[in-house]
């Protein structure tokens, strides 16, 4: 007899996002494929039976990546918390690029994290990023953290123009290990912020 997996199982939540939710909740600019014209009930049925076709239409890999607990945390945050996380990550790495959207306390937190992490020492390849655009810089950091396999799906949640701007920027040739604790810190902080 097979054992049912609980709904709160991270592997199950990851699989659902990978196969269904990533494209079902895509930003309206990505919704050009013909199947998006279907009603919600038919879209749900399509998701369960035509995963390879959907992946082909959206140019997504069909193979499921291993569960990434931090990205799962990101995916389950409210949009406001996700935006805050992007801005915090950018502000930690490039002082002043998101300061106009952060509170004084949030800026202080970013300075403290930056003092400990010293992003200038490990983000040396990040030339060409806009100095004053925390949203683009944060999204670029997320794309580097997610990696190519997961980025293809995560990017669907953002407007195409922002994604194209990020993808036009140079990527990192070597994944800096400090990118992981940076995202752990900003995800923790953003998840502690009360929702408006």
Write down the pLDDT at residue 7.
63
Rounded CA-CA distance 186/154 in Å is 17
Nearest to 129 by CA among 119, 138, 117, 121: 138
CA–CA gap between residue 13 and residue 180 (Å, rounded): 21
Average pLDDT, the chain: 89
Does 196 have pLDDT greater than 90?
A: no
Give CA angle at 170 (122, 111), nearest 5°: 40
User: Could you tell me which of 150, 147, 131, 128 has the C-alpha nearest to residue 93?
Assistant: 131
Reported as a pLDDT band with limits 50, 70 and 90, residue 30 is very high
Higher pLDDT, 49 or 166: 166
Residues 6+ away with beta carbon under 8 Å from 149: 61, 65
Mean pLDDT of 138-151: 95
Query: In the chain, which ranges are continuous DSSP H helix?
Result: 10-16, 22-24, 40-49, 51-58, 69-75, 79-93, 104-117, 119-122, 134-154, 160-167, 179-192
Does 46 have pLDDT greater than 80? Answer: yes
| Residue 1 pLDDT | 39
Q: How confident is the model at residue 121 (pLDDT cuts 50, 70, 90)?
A: confident
Query: What does the pLDDT average to over 44-51?
Result: 83
Region 118-133: what's the mean pLDDT?
79
For position 4, what pLDDT does the model report? Answer: 47
Return d(Cα 94, Cα 158) in angstroms, integer. 22
Rounded CA gap, 8 and 53, in Å? Answer: 28
Average confidence (pLDDT) over 24-37: 90
Banded pLDDT at 3 (limits 50, 70, 90): low
pLDDT tier, 6 (very low <50, low <70, confident <90, very high otherwise): low
The larger pLDDT score, comparing residue 46 to residue 109, is at 109
């Amino acid at each position: 007899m097979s054992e049912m997996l609980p709904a709160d199982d991270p592997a199950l939540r990851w699989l659902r996002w990978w196969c269904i939710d990533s494209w079902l909740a895509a930003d309206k600019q990505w919704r050009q494929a013909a199947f998006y014209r279907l009603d919600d009930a038919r879209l749900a049925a399509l998701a369960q039976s035509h995963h390879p076709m959907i992946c082909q239409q959206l140019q997504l890999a069909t193979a499921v990546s291993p569960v990434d607990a931090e990205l799962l945390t990101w995916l389950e945050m409210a949009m406001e918390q996700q935006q805050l996380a992007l801005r915090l990550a950018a502000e930690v790495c490039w002082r002043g690029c998101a300061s106009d959207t952060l509170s004084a306390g949030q800026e202080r937190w970013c300075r403290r994290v930056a003092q400990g992490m010293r992003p200038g020492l490990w983000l040396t390849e990040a030339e060409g990023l806009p100095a004053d655009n925390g949203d683009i810089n944060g999204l670029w950091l997320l794309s580097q953290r997610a990696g190519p396999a997961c980025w293809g799906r995560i990017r669907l949640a953002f407007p195409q123009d922002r994604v194209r701007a990020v993808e036009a920027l140079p990527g990192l040739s070597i994944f800096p290990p400090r990118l992981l604790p940076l995202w752990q810190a900003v995800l923790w902080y953003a998840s502690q912020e009360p929702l408006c």
